[in-house]
Structure 1
Amino acid sequence: MALIEVVFILVGVCCVFFCGRRLARVLMVLFPKFWYPLPENFFTSMGKWAVITGGSEGIGRAYAQQVKLAGHGLNVVLISRSRGKLETAAQDIELTTGRKVTVISADFTKDDIYTSIEESISSLDVAILVNNVGILPSQIPCKLLETTNLEEKILQVINCNLKSMAKMCRLILPGMVERGRGIILNVSSGMAIVPFPLYTLYGATKVFIERFAQCLQAEYKSKGILVQTVSPFGVSTSMMGYQKEDLMTFSAEAFVKSSLTYLKAGDHSYGSVRHTILGSFFQNIPTWVLRHEAFHQSFKEFVKKRVGA
């Protein structure tokens, strides 16, 4: 056989292999329940409690109420700033699921909150920690120096978006390691996949979340701990001004229901088919487009219109 024929055969085999892998990945995204099935008792086999930061509303509350946490036998600890919203969420969850709900009022933009949190949860058999709490420095995207009260916002965003995740992992991970089981779910953002001007501070904190979680999974996977980052794009929550739901913007409940089907899909997920497509789109946009001043202004006006500002 001539050398050129061997080369063509090898190239053909490589192409088939490459296309086969891409097709398999597409099928995994399209049919997560088939590829990543969760046993009925998956969460209860991990423990008795779910601890959720930012759990009084939005995505955090949906994780507690909508699908598989309280509804599948777990008691819930909700941690957030607003005592009133926490108590309302707790009552709703208890009524709809019959599970026990404990609330802890804590402002994650502050430094001195973790001792009291630790005292409240130290004895619990925690099945899943959902690190969901987070804030935007400004609801309307803007350049860094245009941020109102920038010095204060820097500290608040770092405390709430970064420190909260690291500290909650420090509090809960030792117990999971000792028991040899547990789930840590970190809510990031699609804005972490590429440099996203006008969300500079916020996007940078979400990159930290993804890298921290990936390293944590590598360190503790052998201990029976599952760590995953979920990176949604549009979800209609108060932080995003309750944007109107559409093809790419989910309700919190719909997004959570979708995202949990990808829980065993690896250390990172976009949480839905549509957001996975959007993630691929942004990853293939030339970076000069995102850096262009015209894009900044157009995107700012787009968000203003979406939130009704």
Structure 2
Amino acid sequence: MGEIQDQLFILVGALVCLNYLLKCVKFSRYFLLHLWNPLPKSFFRSMGEWAVITGAGDGIGKAYSYELAKRGLNVVMISRTLEKLQAVAKGIEQTTGSHVKIIQADFTKDDIYENIKENLQGLEIGILVNNVGMFHSFPCIFHSGPNEVQNMIHCNISSVVKMTQLLLRDMEKRRKGLVLNISSGAGRFPWPLCSVYSSAKAFVYTFSRALQVEYKEKGIIIQVVTPYSISTPMTKYLKPNIITKTADGFVKESLNFVAAGDETYGCLAHEILAHLLHLIPSWIFYSDTFQNLFLTYWENYLNRSSSK
């Protein structure tokens, strides 16, 4: 009996060591990619002629539109506000020489996809960036009205599924393509006081990981990007610092990690932050004391950011 217990402890210890070794290998890829980018300059253009970006009027979507145009692709920008789309499209065409097509669509609605499909007909689409999303006020106890909840489900979940459904079949036929699904660090484990948003982003994470298993042998890369703090209109333009990244800086860095695997935090700072957060035991993270400390920190952080 003692010998069996010893063997069991050795096995458990070996599995724990292997788990941490794999995490170290994964973590090291970020440093290696900082020193050496394995992607050729023609990689993104080789996926196809066009890239489609949702939520492209500002923030991360706007940054992806500019950056992919700089890397040789024509871009289809989809968002709700026509004036923003027109202004961004003009800037992209003037600075990069790429062609831009705009589609006005409100992703809180569920009847928009037939129109989007018609407007994408005939385009060789190699890249899809499912970026569009909405966030409720934070902190927020779950008591939102049904309209806001339904809008968040349409915008944060249905948009990812339906846009992927629209474009993945043609990528499969050509046996190449890139789908980037923008989730959030808040979707990596349950976040109290933003329960709907956190759960929606957890869906994006799980959906993306499962889909990559289905399509990785068909020449298609499906990667979920899970950033933490980005300075965008949705975060009320938090002041950039070592953790809070500008949208342009984050997107430029995150595209270097396309070859890093089926999930990425998008930048080195957020990768380090994620590892630190995962060291906190769940019973501590969800305790009243920790939550109160976090809320106090968050309020002070917002006050400092807004006063500068």
After TM superposition, is the score higher than 0.5? yes
The aligned counterpart of 2:4 is: none
The aligned counterpart of 1:263 is: 258
Cα distance between partner residues in 2 of 1:40 and 1:278: 29
Asked if structure 2 preserves the Cα contact closer than 8 Å seen for 1:194 and 1:283, the reply is: no
1:244-270 alpha-carbon deviations (Å, 9 max, x no partner): 111100000110111111101111000
Does structure 1 residue 178 correspond to structure 2 residue 179?
no
Cα distance between partner residues in 1 of 2:22 and 2:189: 24
Asked if structure 2 preserves the Cα contact closer than 8 Å seen for 1:52 and 1:77, the reply is: yes
Alignment of 1:14-33 (within 5 A): 23-33=24-34
Q: Which runs of 5+ in 2 are unaligned?
A: 1-6
Shift of 1:23: 4.8
1:222-264 alpha-carbon deviations (Å, 9 max, x no partner): 1110000000001000001110111100000110111111101
Q: Percent identity?
A: 41
Structure 1 SS opposite 2:233: coil
In the superposition, relative to structure 1, how do residues 303 and 30 fare at CA in structure 2: closer, same or farther (>3 Å)?
same
Asked if structure 2 preserves the Cα contact closer than 8 Å seen for 1:191 and 1:206, the reply is: yes
Shift of 1:173: 0.5
Asked if structure 2 preserves the Cα contact closer than 8 Å seen for 1:196 and 1:290, the reply is: no
Shift of 1:18: 7.4
Asked if structure 2 preserves the Cα contact closer than 8 Å seen for 1:181 and 1:223, the reply is: yes
TM-score (norm 1): 0.89
Asked if structure 2 preserves the Cα contact closer than 8 Å seen for 1:51 and 1:130, the reply is: yes
The aligned counterpart of 1:39 is: 40
Q: What letter matches 2:92 in structure 1?
A: I
In the superposition, relative to structure 1, how do residues 227 and 35 fare at CA in structure 2: closer, same or farther (>3 Å)?
farther
Structure 1 SS opposite 2:28: helix
TM-score (norm 2): 0.89
Asked if structure 1 preserves the Cα contact closer than 8 Å seen for 2:187 and 2:198, the reply is: yes
Cα distance between partner residues in 1 of 2:127 and 2:50: 7
Alignment of 1:91-130 (within 5 A): 91-130=90-129
Q: Which runs of 5+ in 1 are unaligned?
A: 1-6
Shift of 1:307: 4.0
Cα distance between partner residues in 2 of 1:83 and 1:125: 24
The aligned counterpart of 1:3 is: none
Structure with a larger share of its residues in helix:
2
1:25-54 alpha-carbon deviations (Å, 9 max, x no partner): 343121215565111110111100000000
Q: What letter matches 2:52 in structure 1?
A: V
Q: What letter matches 1:210 in structure 2?
A: Y
Structure 2 SS opposite 1:37: coil
Asked if structure 2 preserves the Cα contact closer than 8 Å seen for 1:235 and 1:250, the reply is: yes
Cα distance between partner residues in 2 of 1:220 and 1:96: 35
The aligned counterpart of 1:71 is: 70
Asked if structure 2 preserves the Cα contact closer than 8 Å seen for 1:240 and 1:307, the reply is: no
Aligned residue pairs total 295
In the superposition, relative to structure 1, how do residues 299 and 153 fare at CA in structure 2: closer, same or farther (>3 Å)?
farther
Q: What letter matches 2:197 in structure 1?
A: Y
The aligned counterpart of 2:139 is: 141
CA RMSD, Structure 1 to Structure 2 (Å): 2.3
The aligned counterpart of 2:163 is: 168
The aligned counterpart of 1:87 is: 86
Q: What letter matches 2:254 in structure 1?
A: S
1:291 to 262, 286, 293: 286
Shift of 1:164: 0.2
Shift of 1:55: 0.6
Cα distance between partner residues in 1 of 2:111 and 2:39: 38
The aligned counterpart of 1:196 is: 191
In the superposition, relative to structure 1, how do residues 186 and 19 fare at CA in structure 2: closer, same or farther (>3 Å)?
closer
Range with bigger deviation, 128-137 or 25-34: 25-34
Shift of 1:273: 1.2
Cα distance between partner residues in 1 of 2:299 and 2:19: 42
Higher relative contact order (CA 8 A, sep 6+): 1
Cα distance between partner residues in 2 of 1:232 and 1:41: 26
The aligned counterpart of 2:221 is: 226
Asked if structure 1 preserves the Cα contact closer than 8 Å seen for 2:27 and 2:271, the reply is: no
